[in-house]
Each structure stands twice: as C-alpha cells, then as structure tokens.
Structure 1
C-alpha cells in the first residue's frame, strides 16, 4: 500500500537551477512537510544549488535539516520568543527572527551576541515591529549581531513593490543592514535590489519547489475492488449506492492528507462559483475525490479512512487490483509513502 510521488528529476532540477540563476541572493525555504518532498530532500537539493543559507519555519526543523547533511547557516522564520528556550540562540550558525521589542530584550539577556534578523510589520499583519519601533529596536540591540531586516509581504497587493520600498527606507534609516524579502516577483526584487544599496536576499519556497508541476505527479494504488448494485449499503456509514458499478479501495487516506484542504481565498467569481457548487454537492453527500480513474475524477463512497479511500466507479470495471491511478493532492498538506526519482 502506498501513495507515491514520482519526480522527473532532470526536469525538476533544471527548474531549480533556473530559479537560482535568475534570483541573486536566493534563500531556499524548507519548512513544514517540505512542500511534499520532505525537509531532508529539500536540504540536500539546496546544497546542490550552492546555497549557503537555508530558511526553515520553526526551531525544531533546524535539527532535521542538519541531520540531512545541511552545513550552512539556517534562518528560523517564525519569530523567537522566550517560550522557545535559548538553545538556538547559542548556535553560531542559526539566525533567529525577532518581531517584538520585549523578545529582543529577552534574547539580548539570554545570549548577548546571538545573530538576529528584525522583522518589520507589513500589511500581512502577522508579525513584526511597527515603523515607529525601529529606532528603539536598534538602540536595544547592544552586542546582538544584526544580520538584517526582514519584510514578509502579502502574495497579492495593489502596490507590493511600493510597500517594500517604504518599509525598506524606514528600516535603512534606522540602521543600514541587509534586507531579507518574501513574495516579490523577480522583476520587483531586481528593481528594489538596485535601489537600496545594501545586500538583499529573496526567500523562496513555493515558486522554487513547486514551480514545475509537470515534473511531478502522485499516484495511488488500487488495493481491492468489489462489484456493487444500486441501493446496496456499504462502508462504515452504510450509504446506499446510487448506481451499479464497482467500489475501488485506493491507497491514501487522512494520514496522507487526502481530502484535507487549506481554506481557499476564492477571490474571483469563478472560484466562488466553484466553491458554492462543491459545497452544495458535499451537502448532498456527493464529495468528489482527488482520484482519477478511467479519465475522470470519481466520487467518494464516504469520507476517506486513515490510510485508504473508497471510491465509486459506475458501470463496468476499467482498472485492476495493483494498478496505479493519478491522485491530486495539495503538496503542503500531503504526506506520501514513497518518493520515486
């Protein structure tokens, strides 16, 4: 039983090299489930790209990428707080993000010469120092080693470059130091880099690792299959089958992230319409699965089980036990059992 990620390694790595060549100051991001590839794989690929710094999401991921062989610096993106402990502050090759004045004071007390990046508050409104706090932050640094300012921008904004410019100007007025940026296009990044007169870094995750969708695919295995008749009750919840056909038992379930989705922004009318239709179908017990069998997405018989899913194939069978079928998964929530490539 397995959910398998197949990688066209040559095509994928060609894409990675292309992004690296077009992005001076690239900082690969490896966090969470490693965008479906695993943190260990991403750490090795970042080293192959020649990167000397890697960004991770949380402190616990520092050890994971180190055990995978990463030997360069590691930037922890989630801001440090005293509740996190002080171990990473004493690591010479870790750069901690600081986003509050109180946390800055605590870090200085715990490890006076630790390496830090100060995060600025953007229109994201997630973390960061307000513009009127920047001068106080610089005054409070003491012997802390300032590695730069970080500006984490929204992915969609009316004038993202304008916001980056304004925040960069405020930061550099307080202290000239490198800028660490997220979610700028290559053109926006190149423009800003040419204006600021300091070193710049662009942290990239999704566009780097998932920017060549044709180079990857995920498949599930047909574990078993049984004929069913219209009106027959099956599954944990004994739902009646709407048509004659086959129930396919396919590999992959909630443990793999099957049918687990992040909320959608649904910013366009088309996206909202799709969401409305999907919600209506779910309410009637017709949930479309991510599995494609005989050229079409098929409906779940019932919610996925932990490591397998029941899918209805109307009519005569078109697959056999042991066949591999395509399955569409969200890379940032999926956990595959096997990687080929």
Structure 2
C-alpha cells in the first residue's frame, strides 16, 4: 500500500511539447526532488524533447540527470539509465571547498555558475578552459554580481569560456526594465547569450528584440507541473477502526471528539512530504485570512489534511507519521479505498510514480 503519483502520460507530454514549441530558447530546469517526479525521470523527458541543455540545482545533481548515479549516490549507468547527454548547467554558484563542484569544472559538458569576482579569478587560475556563466545580482538579492563588477568579472575570467550572463528575477512584479538595464551593462562587458527566468512571453519577446544575442529561458514549474489535470496523487486506506467519543488514539493519545467515530490509517506520511509546506508568502488578503484560519484550527487540534473523500478534505487525527497518516473519515470510507491527496510537488516524494 503506497502513496502513488498517477500521471496521464499523453496529456503531460502534450503539455511539455506545447511549452517547448512556444519557447525556442527554453532551458528545462530539473532540480531538488525533480518536481515530484525524480531527476532521472525528468532527464529522460528532456532527452525525449530533443533539447541539448538542462539546468540542475547543485553539482551533486549532475550525476543524477546523467544517469551515472541514483538518488542515493549509487552508480548506475547502462541501458536502463541512459541519462541526459547534453550540456548541464549548475544553478547554485561555485564556492571554494566544494569538492563535487570543483570536479565538475573539469567536465566539458558542465556549465558552472559564478557569482563573485573572487570566485571567477579562483576558477580561472585553477581550471583554465572551464565553461562558466556569470550571474548578475537582481532585486531577488540572492546570488550575483553588481553591474559595477561586471567588467572586473570578465577581466578575471581570462582563459575561461563564458557561455552567458544569467539574470534570475523575482516571481512577481514587472521586471522587464530591470532585466534590460542589467543586460545592457552585462553585454557591454562581454557579448554572450542571456539566460533569464521569470519573464512573461511578451517580455521575453521584447528582450529578444532589444538585444541581438540569444536569450535562453529557464523553465521548471510551468514545464513539469502546468498540466494540472494530468497529475494525481492517491493514497490507499490500509485500516479503519470504530472509536467512541473521548477514546484516545495515536502516538499523542488525543481524545476523539463527539463527531469522530471512524479512524482511518492511510498510506503517506512525512517521508512522502505529506502536509509539508513552505511558509506562505501571504501575498494577498485572502492568503493572510487562510493562514490565520488554519492557525486557529491547528491550535484547536482540528488540522485539515491534504486527503480528500467525496470531494471533501478530511481532518488529521494527529500529525502524520513517517509513512502513514491517521484521519477521521465518514462511513463511506473503507479499507482498500483510494483517497485523493493534494501534494506540494516540490516537497513530494511518492512511493511510486505510474506514467499511464
């Protein structure tokens, strides 16, 4: 009995094909948990799409998309794991002391991100000929060099192959002006392709019309998760117990309420990412109200679960266990039933993925 991700293969791949066809400079992103699918599977999809570039989050993930290791670092290879044969861009910038990132610099198929002038100089000295991409600091304020450092970075990169400037923008707001200003300064220092993220199709077109260099668009969420109706997480009901009001249940021995008389044990827990979520951005009034309401319910030990039966969310009896969850269910739920589960794909680790 498992938590399973069911994928409508035809609809999922049709969506991928549509996204790629509408974006000639696309660079697929496969990082972390592979958006719930796993990195090796996404690497195979990029290969199917016939693309020659793929971005990963960290240097450790290169082996996963190449098919030379699995998620546990065990070497694989062979016909079952052909992997992705094209260029792999590592998005997390190189830093001194990272042995895996250091080794990747010697791989001609890996493009390393550099975000500090001193790192550019260090890599140029130790690894002449390495392929690198230089990162500009945006209003994200995460990684990157200021515009007044661009020329120094290019000078320090003597002997390296600069394959582009990367501009990683925030997810909300209008940022075409910011991207244009950064690109203008960057291209005056070194004329190479621009690698951008989080720009609308119209803004991408404007950027391409403004600059006579290739503009490569990094895409993850929209490519892999945009076909919402093609993806369904389902969990099986493993057991059901009748309980009486005030009877204690679970690890934490909470008492059953007057309305709670059926306790179901279902597949899926913290190991699968059940009920795990990032702090809300609270970007609008509705999200603020939802956050407050959820907090009030949890304080009263009435936490809604991501499991649904008959189109209605079910309540947790207590926080999820590692591989199972305890839920209060209606009389219609019985052993062997499957429940729909709403999962945050970027934290989901299903027991199985079935591409149908």
State TM-score, norm by structure 2: 0.94
Q: How many residues align?
A: 338
Give 1:246's match in structure 2, choosing from 253, 262, 266: 262
Q: Secondary structure at the match of 2:346?
A: coil
Q: Secondary structure at the match of 1:79?
A: coil
Residue ranges of structure 2 left out of the alignment (5+ in a row): 68-80
Query: How far 1:295 sits from its partner (Å)?
Result: 2.5
User: How far apart in 1 are the matches of 2:220 and 2:135?
Assistant: 18
Q: 1:87 corresponds to which residue? A: 103
The verdict on how the C-alpha distance between 1:260 and 1:244 changes in structure 2, with shifts beyond 3 A counting, is closer
Q: Secondary structure at the match of 1:123?
A: coil
State TM-score, norm by structure 1: 0.98
User: How far apart in 2 are the matches of 1:258 and 1:119?
Assistant: 35
Q: Secondary structure at the match of 1:187?
A: helix
Q: Give yes or no for contact 2:2–2:267 (8 Å, CA) kept in 1.
A: yes
1:208-243 residue CA offsets vs partner (Å, 9 max, x unmatched): 101111111100000110011111111111111112
Query: How far 1:190 sits from its partner (Å)?
Result: 1.4
Give structure 1 regions of 4+ aligned residues with deviation exceeding 2 angstroms.
Answer: none
User: How far apart in 2 are the matches of 1:323 and 1:229?
Assistant: 23
1:285-305 residue CA offsets vs partner (Å, 9 max, x unmatched): 111000002331011000000
Give 1:99's match in structure 2, choosing from 107, 115, 124: 115
1:184-229 residue CA offsets vs partner (Å, 9 max, x unmatched): 1111111101211001100000011011111111000001100111
Q: Note the 1:289-328 alignment, pairs <5 A.
A: 289-314=305-330, 317-328=331-342
1:4-43 residue CA offsets vs partner (Å, 9 max, x unmatched): 0011110110000000000011000000000001101100
Residue ranges of structure 1 left out of the alignment (5+ in a row): none
Q: Does 1:148 align with 2:182?
A: no
User: How far apart in 2 are the matches of 1:293 and 1:48?
Assistant: 36
The verdict on how the C-alpha distance between 1:305 and 1:324 changes in structure 2, with shifts beyond 3 A counting, is same
Query: How far 1:251 sits from its partner (Å)?
Result: 0.2
User: How far apart in 2 are the matches of 1:291 and 1:83?
Assistant: 44
Q: Give yes or no for contact 1:82–1:107 (8 Å, CA) kept in 2.
A: no
Q: 1:175 corresponds to which residue? A: 190
Q: 2:55 corresponds to which residue? A: 55
Q: 2:153 corresponds to which residue? A: 137
User: How far apart in 1 are the matches of 2:283 and 2:112?
Assistant: 34
User: How far apart in 1 are the matches of 2:2 and 2:143?
Assistant: 39
Q: CA RMSD in A?
A: 0.9
Q: 2:347 corresponds to which residue? A: 333
Q: Does 1:234 align with 2:249?
A: yes
Q: Secondary structure at the match of 1:285?
A: coil
Query: How far 1:244 sits from its partner (Å)?
Result: 4.0
User: How far apart in 2 are the matches of 1:23 and 1:254?
Assistant: 37
Q: Secondary structure at the match of 1:262?
A: coil
Q: Does 1:75 align with 2:89?
A: yes
Q: Give yes or no for contact 1:27–1:55 (8 Å, CA) kept in 2.
A: yes
Q: Note the 1:21-32 alignment, pairs <5 A.
A: 21-32=21-32
Q: 1:40 corresponds to which residue? A: 40
Q: Give yes or no for contact 1:294–1:319 (8 Å, CA) kept in 2.
A: no
Q: 1:13 corresponds to which residue? A: 13
User: How far apart in 1 are the matches of 2:202 and 2:260?
Assistant: 55
User: How far apart in 2 are the matches of 1:184 and 1:24?
Assistant: 14
